[in-house]
Amino acid sequence: MTAICVNELVKKYKSGVQALDGLTLTVKEGEIFSLLGQNGAGKSTLINVLTTYLSPTSGNVTMFGKDAYREAAEIRSKISCVAQRTSIDTHLSLTENMMFQSKLYKVPKSEAIKRMEMLISCFGLEKYLKYPVFSYSGGVKRRLDIALNLMSNPKVLFLDEPTVGMDIQSRMAMWDMVKKIRNDFGTTIFLTTHYLEEADELSDTICIMKNGKEVIQGSPNSLRAYLRQDMLKISFSEKKEAEKCFDTLKGTIALKESDLRHDKIITSLKSGRSDLEKTTRLLLEHSLPFLGIEIIQPTLEDVFISLTSDNGKEAS
Amino acid sequence: MDILTLLHRNIKWRFHNAFTIVITILQPMLWLVLYSAVAGQSMKGIGIANYTAFVLPGLIVLVSFGACSSSGIMNYLMKADGSFYRILIAPFKRSSIVLGQVLEAVVCTFIEVIIMCIVSLFFSVNIATGFKGILLIALLVFLTAFFISGLTYAISLCLPNEVMYETVMNAIVLPIFFLSTALFPADGLSGGLKITVNLNPFTHVINVLRDLILQGDIVFQDVSFVILLLIGMCGISFSWAFHRLKKETAL
């Protein structure tokens, strides 16, 4: 069953900035859906529209068959959102925060108490009960923020860049938590991120967006060619040298025009290590002056370049 | 029920930040205790026997402004910590969100007015109109605080930051206070100043409060006029606050 259906969504702010430009995507119920995009791609605007905070300029958003703009009141009781910045009331205690959230969503008191106890245990918050909320570390505050957003047992949980600024251990703990929420509570999770590996690790479906519109949507497996492919990077001291070598290398390894990026050549590896060996040999044989050669993981920018050159889809 | 949920949470915020009560009552209290004692001597010459009782209605309005202004600040704090957004995407009516905050300011105003009235007892201030007068004073304080709170709520959503907000509120409160009958009777005024003071709605609120405190009789015509005036003003300020909140999501 479809949880969220976004069709030709446009959001143009009154300031004139166009954040969403005809975006279309579909989220299935019970899945982890990752929206991948760089800063300024329109991810947060999309979350704001989906959570009924902002109204769209044009296009349709339906959630569980209801129009998110016209039937916002009904939608609001089914969703919850953990924003980029934690939104905990520091003047309330941990339990008061959770009970306040339950009252916001009109959860009966007895049910709210049971759910609060379960969530406190599930998110390992027991040992923080006796301390004031303002003294919590960033990670604990984030856990509490997610826990209190689950108080209303939402059908869809929006997570806006939940791991931004976290160290790798905290990120992995967060990934486990996101999977646990989906598995234990059956919640549909819609998360935004600009980390490729995060989307790859967590998602059932990934949508990559740029400049307010989707570039591609599919399962991590179907996007494997873009997300997990090793890249070969050759660095030069200046652009001219990169251009000179580009012409020489073109005949040896299949290069596209888009692989030449200022003073670097970055291309996806077709034959793994043999491409690396072949290229290094050629560079040395022709005494081409390069600074370094290495195999790297693709960045989001690499994926965009790869996608736009492969599919002819361009978001400028 | 929605309103009570938010009201309860906002009152908790107020008591967690109890210094906002102390700070907003400090200046009116200084006026009540020090200024009335100093100026009271010279006011006896123009027929005001108890200047503390005379100045109390104006200070009730001033304390309302103080308490309700800090309610506007709450919007900036809520925006900074993210709870503003969390409440806006919750299944709550926009009107309940505004009312929950406006009523918190009203509660805070009542707390401060009660403290001021208790202190003024030590300066021989009595409510001449008795229990009925106290009820009418309570109604007038409620409406005054409701109007100011709606106003400060709307202003806080119009202005980009706390510094601008504080500056604008100072620019509003002090002229309103001094261009009213808060500190002196309007009898001796003439010309443009008299017109300005009479155009100030708080002049009429202060005059009626003063009559209820000092005069034994309740002039229902005057009281009814001020109540109707305040109800109209409350309607306008609440509508403006409601409209501003709706505009928050219409970027």
pLDDT greater than 70 at residue B40? yes
Flag whether residue B188 sits within 8 Å of chain A, measured between CB atoms: no
To the question of domain A230-297 being in CATH 3.40.1130, the answer is no
Residues B17, A91: C-beta atoms closer than 8 Å: yes
Distance CA B99, CA B107 (A): 12
Of A122, A52, A48, A50, residue with least CA distance to A84: A48
Q: What is the distance in angstroms between the Cα of A28 and the nearest Cα belonging to chain B?
A: 22
Helix (H, G, I), strand (E, B) or coil at B50: coil
pLDDT greater than 60 at residue A148? yes
Most B-contacting residue of A47, A77, A87, A90 (CB-CB within 10 A), to test interface: A87
Q: Average pLDDT of A179-187?
A: 88
Distance CA A156, CA A5 (A): 13
Flag whether residue A108 sits within 8 Å of chain B, measured between CB atoms: no
Q: Pick the residue with more confidence: B55 or B250?
A: B55
Band of the pLDDT at A300, cuts 50, 70, 90?
A: low
Across A203-217, A297-311, B169-183, least confident range: A297-311
A15 neighbourhood in chain B, CB within 8 Å? 251
- For B2, which residue in chain A has the nearest alpha carbon? A104
Of B197, B167, B6, residue with least CA distance to B86: B6
Amino acid A230: pLDDT: 79
Q: What is the distance in angstroms between the Cα of B249 and the nearest Cα belonging to chain A?
A: 5
Tokens describing residue A81: 């959102």
| Amino acid occupying residue B28 | P
Q: Average pLDDT of B90-116?
A: 93
B250 neighbourhood in chain A, CB within 8 Å? 14, 54-55
Percent of chain B with pLDDT over 90: 56
- Of the partner residues A15, A51, A91, the one whose CB lies closest to the CB of residue B89: A51
Q: Pick the residue with more confidence: A85 or A57?
A: A57
Q: Comparing A2-226 with A230-297, is the CATH topology the same?
A: no
Amino acid B217: pLDDT: 84
User: CA dist B221 to B120, B207, B208, B225, B226, Å?
Assistant: 28, 13, 10, 6, 9
Percent of chain B with pLDDT over 70: 100
Find the helix or strand (DSSP H, E) in which A82 lies: strand A79-82
pLDDT greater than 60 at residue A314? no
Listed by start position, the domains of chain A span 2-226, 230-297
Band of the pLDDT at A312, cuts 50, 70, 90?
A: very low
Helix axes A239-250, A273-285, angle to 10 degrees: 110
Q: Pick the residue with more confidence: A271 or B19?
A: B19
Distance CA B196, CA B203 (A): 10
> Around A185, how many Cα atoms within 13 Å sit in the side-chain half-sphere?
25
pLDDT greater than 80 at residue A156? yes
Listed by start position, the domains of chain B span 2-248
Flag whether residue B79 sits within 8 Å of chain A, measured between CB atoms: no
Contact B100, B238 (CB under 8 A): no
Q: What is the distance in angstroms between the Cα of B143 and the nearest Cα belonging to chain A?
A: 27
Tokens describing residue B116: 């001021």
The whole-chain average pLDDT of chain A stands at 85
Strand ranges for A148-223 from DSSP E = 156-160, 188-193, 205-210, 213-218
Flag whether residue A153 sits within 8 Å of chain B, measured between CB atoms: no
Flag whether residue B251 sits within 8 Å of chain A, measured between CB atoms: yes
Eight-class DSSP state of B31: I
Band of the pLDDT at B141, cuts 50, 70, 90?
A: very high
Q: Torsions phi, psi of B148, nearest 5?
A: -65, -40
Q: Average pLDDT of A55-59?
A: 92
Band of the pLDDT at A316, cuts 50, 70, 90?
A: very low
Distance CA B29, CA B13 (A): 23
Q: Pick the residue with more confidence: A261 or A151?
A: A151
How many Cβ pairs closer than 8 A exist between chain A and B?
A: 65
Which A residues 7-46 touch B at CB under 8 Å? 13-15
Q: Counting every residue, how long is chain A? A: 316
User: CA dist A261 to A229, A238, A270, B193, Å?
Assistant: 18, 11, 19, 73
- Of the partner residues A87, A104, A106, the one whose CB lies closest to the CB of residue B81: A87
| Range among A181-185, B167-171, B212-216 with highest mean pLDDT value | B167-171
Band of the pLDDT at A243, cuts 50, 70, 90?
A: confident
ipTM score for this prediction: 0.81
- Of the partner residues A15, A55, A88, the one whose CB lies closest to the CB of residue B249: A55
Tokens describing residue A165: 């600024």
Superfamily for domain range A2-226 = P-loop containing nucleotide triphosphate hydrolases (3.40.50.300)
Strand partners, A191: A34, A159
Band of the pLDDT at A309, cuts 50, 70, 90?
A: low
Contact A49, A212 (CB under 8 A): no
Distance CA A295, CA A53 (A): 43
- For A49, which residue in chain B has the nearest alpha carbon? B249
Distance CA A310, CA A260 (A): 15
